[in-house]
Amino acid sequence: MGRPVVITGAGAISAVADSPAKLHAELCAGRSGLKAVELFSTEGIGCHQAGEIRPFEPRDYLGERNLRPIDRTSRLMLVAAGQALEEAGWTAEVLAEREAGLVLGTTFCSVHTIAEFDRRGLQLGPSYASPFDFANSVINAAAGQAAIWFGLRGLNSTISAGAASGLAALGYAVGHIRAGRAAALLAGGAEELCFESFLGHYRAGRLCGSRGGAGEVPVPFHARRNGFALAEGAALVLLEDAEAAAGRSARVLAEVLGHGSAFDPLGTEESGAGAVARAVRLALEDAELEPGDLDCLSASASGGVETDRREALGVAAALGGRAADLPVTAVKSMTGEAMGASGGLQVVDLLGTFADGPDGGRLSGIPGLDEVEPGFPLGGLSSATRPVRVRRALVTALSADGHAAALVLGAPGGSG
């Protein structure tokens, strides 16, 4: 299985909060970041809410350096990356001496930047297209911008898997550290909210309210859920080789015990649930743990009509009897579906649960969950925040296109 991997820093910005500590506190207080979109007009679209980060003043976080060539996704990404590096003690001086890398999960990076670049060229002629925008039109732009900003000279990769991008990026990064190919990697994801993505997801029938039903119900696992609330954000953790982290006396926030992934090539409920079950089983096998060793689940559920059901069925198939009482949280009930950023947000929230301490752990509830879909095999769903004792946590993520990923985290201090 290779070298043990630990988390030594975290960063997160979302519609809920602009730091990891605030994220966990706000989620536990049940405060949602979903609101009416102001970033662009939703006129003519039958969905109006999203997890928009508002206000977002990049200067408040990023200081006086030139932000002009850096788009919204990259700015969010820089905020989260900066927090994670700072918490882990990877200062500019350390980064000049030692190599750190980055694995970023994102679906689009910035489809808005790409589209604006194209439209400007069409309207004014190709010589008026913006070279800055072109540089950001590649899907790895945010990862490249962060590498330049912080001086990350190690492996720099970008992974796309829709709402599973963040966990997929974490799994990829863990593989590199275990194999001894890297000692320190920022991993997680980023995604911006923009008109192009919003309209597209609406027309694809994925946003809350886009298929009719009463109002907008982006409530995970709810009987009347009718799609997710699209969102934005960035969330990253600093993954380190455990030995190297110990060598520099770094504070460990969590251990990464295992990861797994699978794909559903058929697109049916059964095959979709099957992919989730396989990802979870692979992660447990990788961690050398049994379902009974888990203390909670941070689910991918977003209010998606099909995806929530597949996740519930798949997780239950993998966990057997443990699914009946395993406490479950679903942060997208408050953050919205932030796509590439989602997996990172789930993980960062769990770091908060670990930090609450073994006796004071809190697991956020799922606000608005007053009616679970009948027959769902997950018994540990609650609309209210609960006290929990968490030593090992399971995180799951799935995309609407068939990607499933799972990660097992352990509380710091040798729980594994």
Partner 1 sequence: MTSRIAVTGLGLVTPIGAGRQEVWEGLLAGRSGFAPVESFDTKAFTTHLGAEVRGFAPAPWVRRLEAAALGRASQLAIAAARMALEDAGLDPEAVAPERAGVAMGTTSGEPREVERFDDRFLAGELEKVGAEFISLYPCHMIAAHVARELGFAGPNTMIPTACAAGNYAIANAMDLLRAGRADVMLAGGADAFSRITYTGFHRLGAIAPERCQPFDRNRKGMIPGEGAAVLVLEPLERARKRGARIYAELAGYGLSCDAHHMTAAHPEGEGAARAMERALADAGAAPEEVSYISAHGTGTPTNDRLEVLAVKRVFGEAARRTPMSSIKSMIGHTMGAASAIEAAVCALAVAEDRIPPTMNLEEPEEELDFVPNAARSHPVRLAMNNAYAFGGNNASVLLRKAGT
Q: Cβ 224 to partner 1, closest distance in Å?
A: 22
Q: Can residue 143 be called a binding residue for partner 1 (CB under 8 A)?
A: yes
Which letter does DSSP use for residue 37 in this model? Answer: -
Residue whose tokens read 């949602």: 32
User: Which residue type is seen at 224?
Assistant: R
Q: Can residue 49 be called a binding residue for partner 1 (CB under 8 A)?
A: no
User: CA geometry: angle at 204 spanning 309 and 265, to 5°?
Assistant: 55
Q: Can residue 201 be called a binding residue for partner 1 (CB under 8 A)?
A: yes
Residue whose tokens read 């990891």: 20
Give the HSE-up count for residue 166: Cα atoms under 13 Å, Cβ half-sphere. Answer: 30
Q: Can residue 110 be called a binding residue for partner 1 (CB under 8 A)?
A: no
* From candidates 115, 223, 244, 355, binder to partner 1 by CB under 8 A: 115
- Could you count the other beta carbons within 10 Å of the beta carbon of residue 375? 9
Q: Can residue 176 be called a binding residue for partner 1 (CB under 8 A)?
A: yes
Q: What is the DSSP string of 62-75?
A: HTTS--TT--HHHH
- Could you count the other beta carbons within 10 Å of the beta carbon of residue 98? 14
Using CB under 8 A as the binding rule, the residues of this chain from 387 to 406 that contact partner 1 are 399, 401-403
Q: Can residue 246 be called a binding residue for partner 1 (CB under 8 A)?
A: no
Is the bond leading into 55 cis (omega within 30 degrees of zero)? yes
Which letter does DSSP use for residue 101 in this model? Answer: E
Q: What is the token pair recorded at 69?
A: 């060539």
* From candidates 47, 85, 114, 411, binder to partner 1 by CB under 8 A: 114
Q: Can residue 80 be called a binding residue for partner 1 (CB under 8 A)?
A: no
Q: Cβ 145 to partner 1, closest distance in Å?
A: 7
Q: Can residue 111 be called a binding residue for partner 1 (CB under 8 A)?
A: yes
Task: Dump strand ranges (E) for 253-332.
Answer: 254-263, 296-298, 328-329
Q: Can residue 275 be called a binding residue for partner 1 (CB under 8 A)?
A: yes
Distance (Å, whole) CA 109 – CA 134:
13
* From candidates 161, 184, 334, 411, binder to partner 1 by CB under 8 A: 161
Indicate the residue among 69 and 291 with the shorter CB distance to partner 1: 69
Q: Can residue 156 be called a binding residue for partner 1 (CB under 8 A)?
A: yes
Which runs of consecutive H residues, i.e. helices, occur in 151-254?
165-178, 195-203, 242-247
Indicate the residue among 267 and 387 with the shorter CB distance to partner 1: 267
Q: Can residue 310 be called a binding residue for partner 1 (CB under 8 A)?
A: no
Q: Which stretch in 9-17, 204-212, 241-249, 388-396 sits in contact with partner 1 by CB under 8 A?
A: 204-212
- Rg of the chain taking only CA atoms, in angstroms: 20
Q: Can residue 253 be called a binding residue for partner 1 (CB under 8 A)?
A: no
Q: Cβ 401 to partner 1, closest distance in Å?
A: 5
Q: Tell me which H or E stretch contains 186.
A: strand 184-191
* From candidates 126, 374, 375, 414, binder to partner 1 by CB under 8 A: 126
Q: Can residue 145 be called a binding residue for partner 1 (CB under 8 A)?
A: yes
Q: What is the token pair recorded at 225?
A: 């859920």
Q: Can residue 302 be called a binding residue for partner 1 (CB under 8 A)?
A: no
Beta strands 5-14 and 254-263 are antiparallel
Q: Which stretch in 4-12, 236-244, 256-264, 373-381 sits in contact with partner 1 by CB under 8 A?
A: 256-264
Distance (Å, whole) CA 157 – CA 137:
16
Report the b/e string of 332-361 with b at 16+ CB within 10 A.
bbbbbbbbbbbbbbbbbbbbbbbbbeeeeb
Q: Which stretch in 152-160, 297-305, 360-368, 384-392 sits in contact with partner 1 by CB under 8 A?
A: 152-160
Q: Can residue 298 be called a binding residue for partner 1 (CB under 8 A)?
A: no
Distance (Å, whole) CA 243 – CA 241:
6
Backbone dihedral region for residue 339 (phi beyond 0: left; psi -120 to 50: alpha; all else: beta): left
Q: Which stretch in 5-13, 60-68, 268-276, 303-311 sits in contact with partner 1 by CB under 8 A?
A: 268-276
Q: Can residue 212 be called a binding residue for partner 1 (CB under 8 A)?
A: no
* From candidates 42, 73, 83, 137, binder to partner 1 by CB under 8 A: 137
* From candidates 121, 213, 291, 380, binder to partner 1 by CB under 8 A: 121
* From candidates 30, 58, 69, 89, binder to partner 1 by CB under 8 A: 69
